[in-house]
Homo-oligomer: A and B are copies of this chain.
Amino acid sequence: MIARHFTRPARSAGVVLGVGDDCTLLAPTPGQQLAVSVDTSVAEVHFPGEAPASAIGHRALAVSLSDLAAMGAKPRWCLMALTLDHADDAWLAPFAQGFDELCARTGTDLVGGDVTRGALSVSVTVHGEVPPGEALTRHGAREGDLLAVTGTLGGGAGGLAAWQAGERSLDDPLLAAYLLPEPRLDAGQALRGLASAAIDVSDGLLADLQHLCDASGLGADLDIEALPLAKGLVERLGEGAQRAALSGGDDYELLIGLPPAALESARQALDALGVPLTVIGRFTAAPGIHGVEATGPGGWQHFSGVTS
């Protein structure tokens, strides 16, 4: 049953020996570096177990591919470790379809897998390639670099709120942002040589910005009025919209450092891809993230102007 749902012809010439032996054999492109990452999505922790199976398949791959996007790597291969509480065609077929459609669209070959019995979770290891020295990292930002973000923020948290409020239509833009995130692969590759640092927004803007600051040994001024809020977020969350954009997570946008001289080139490159880019602050020599306004008791004070 598993083989029927997941066996696809390889899409790239790099697969020397496909699924069906003890290992898959791959031929990495000579001269390229290999970017690898693994992410596990657990039902009721990372996604609702009752979400459409196709969305679960899409999302499990998307969150791993998002790590390749943040490195500016081009996706090549993935392996899936799937743990299922029950297995039936009615669930596996759309799950595999959702996974495979994103594979096809991003040029990713599923080259290995393991299916076990247990609580529903999906762990996806992804492999991408990037020319030596061109990978985007977290540690390359410099003082004075602009801080910019692709797309919009808060959609992940807004979509989760929509789901919890009973919304089930994937036509709802927030729910789609949460369940069907689109990894910014083309944007990541287009930003090679332009962005000084990058991370994907998975934990939430503030947490991921802190990762960039820590890795680069810098702080940041953040203009929270400039945050590009997801469509429908204010209607869904009201005053909580800004909080969702700051710390909701699950947005899978790219948060980048950008030398001011590279802003125009970056805009043009992303415009050509139809990806919005918004400047939301800048990196500072002074540590800590400044400019975040306290929103109430227990709000953002500990992120506000505090040295790290």
Contact = CB atoms under 8 A, between A and B. Distances in A.
A307 interface: no
Given A20-B215, A121-B116, A130 B36 contact: no
Contact of A22 (B46, B71, B112, B123): B71
A37 interface: yes
Interface string A1-25: 0000000000000001100111111
A119 to B, nearest CB: 5
A219 interface: no
A81 B66 CA distance: 17
A138 B10 CA distance: 19
Contacts of A42: 83, 116-118
Given A33-B16, A71-B23, A116 B45 contact: yes
Nearest to A85: B119
- The SS class assigned to the A binding surface is strand
A283 to B, nearest CB: 17
A277 to B, nearest CB: 19
B35 A24 contact: yes
Contact of A28 (B28, B68, B199): B28
Nearest to A66: B22
B22 A67 contact: yes
